[in-house]
């Protein structure tokens, strides 16, 4: 069997600032690993192999293979004045690819995040643009607009929120959304997913926000609450693995980002957590 290309990608495996003295025992794509604190931080396998690591966006990233590229860049992470928020970890019994796909889906907001990120009757997803940017090799959705009763912890009423979505790696996604506190800038909310197995993942949300008002614990609790709402949906999806034939599910306008994501996964054979369905 050919080597699964997702082996050679970077994955988050711990918060760098919260490593227990004895290390964090976890797994990556079915392989047990331990993240060890120290200078430098190390990630080792059970048979004593030292894996490549990089520390970025508050997290320790590693790979079972040999990534051809550095970890993707999020330039906003270095922009002065932003608060960098480490939300922590949420374990979800779902395919890591499903976790990303759900994050890309706007249509569920009024039904899953009722009266927070969406509300009836404002359920329509307007026209937006989706592309696979060939040079960066990333999926992007732009010009996404949605009415939100409370778009962020710092929002004080309903607003139409502008969004952009970006998928720079098979299990990492970056959301850019209207920044209530700083017009013209984008708040950055990411979902970094650690594939434990094809049907189990640890999800590490992380944010880079312009918000000097809200207490850190409130920012974290807001994001955790949103994600726990998603978890109950994710854990009940059938089939558990992400079906990867784009022709199988009839795309609606709201699904365009998902269609592009699946097409991009298939192109790269990023199929760990996917179910290949014959036409």
CB of 109 to Fe ion, least distance (A): 7
* Nearest distance from C-beta of residue 140 to Fe ion, angstroms: 19
**Residue among 24 and 113 whose Cβ is closer to Fe ion:** 113
- Vertex 62 angle, CA 85 and 132, to 5°: 75
Q: Least distance in Å: CB of 52 to Fe ion?
A: 32
- Binding-site size for Fe ion (CB under 5 A) equals 1
Report, in Å, the least distance between residue 221 CB and Fe ion: 16
Distance CA 104, CA 97 (A): 11
| Residue 101 interacts with Fe ion (CB under 5 A): yes or no | no
Contact status, residue 90 vs residue 225, Cβ threshold 8 Å? no
Nearer to Fe ion, 10 or 192 (CB): 192
Helices 256-268 and 96-104, packing angle to 10 deg: 150
For residues 211 and 230, which CB has a smaller minimum distance to Fe ion in the complex? 230
Question: Which of 230, 234, 242, 255 contacts Fe ion by CB under 5 A?
Answer: 230
According to the binding rule CB under 5 A, does residue 187 interact with Fe ion? Answer: no
Start-end of H helices in the chain: 96-104, 109-112, 216-234, 256-268
* CB of 61 or CB of 227, closer to Fe ion: 227
Q: For residue 189, what are the contacts with CB-CB under 8 A and spacing of at least 6? A: 174, 175, 177, 205, 206, 207, 209, 223
Judged by the rule CB under 5 A, the positions of this chain that interact with Fe ion are 230
């Amino acid at each position: 069997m050919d080597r699964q290309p997702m082996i050679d990608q970077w994955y988050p495996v711990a918060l760098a600032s919260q490593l227990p003295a004895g290390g964090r025992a976890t797994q990556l794509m079915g392989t047990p690993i331990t993240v060890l604190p120290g200078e430098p931080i190390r990630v080792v396998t059970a048979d004593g192999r030292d894996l490549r690591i990089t520390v970025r966006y508050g997290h320790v990233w590693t790979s079972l293979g040999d990534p051809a590229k550095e970890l993707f860049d999020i330039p906003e992470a270095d922009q002065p004045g932003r608060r960098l928020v480490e939300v922590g970890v949420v374990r979800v019994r779902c395919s890591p690819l499903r976790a990303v796909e759900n994050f890309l889906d706007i249509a569920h907001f009024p039904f899953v995040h009722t009266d927070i990120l969406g509300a009836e009757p404002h359920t329509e997803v307007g026209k937006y643009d989706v592309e696979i940017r060939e040079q960066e090799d990333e999926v992007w959705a732009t010009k996404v607009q949605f009415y939100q009763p409370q778009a962020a912890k710092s929002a004080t009423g309903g607003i139409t929120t502008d969004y952009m979505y970006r998928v720079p790696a098979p299990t990492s996604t970056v959301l850019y959304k209207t920044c209530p506190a700083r017009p013209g800038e984008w708040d950055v909310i990411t979902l970094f997913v650690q594939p434990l197995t094809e049907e189990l993942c640890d999800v590490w949300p992380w944010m880079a926000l312009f918000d000097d008002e809200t207490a850190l614990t409130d920012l974290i609790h807001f994001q955790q609450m949103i994600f726990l709402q998603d978890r109950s949906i994710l854990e009940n999806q059938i089939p558990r693995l992400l079906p990867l034939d784009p022709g199988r599910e009839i795309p609606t306008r709201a699904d365009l980002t998902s269609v592009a994501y699946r097409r991009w996964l298939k192109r790269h054979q990023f199929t760990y957590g996917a179910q290949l369905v014959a036409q």
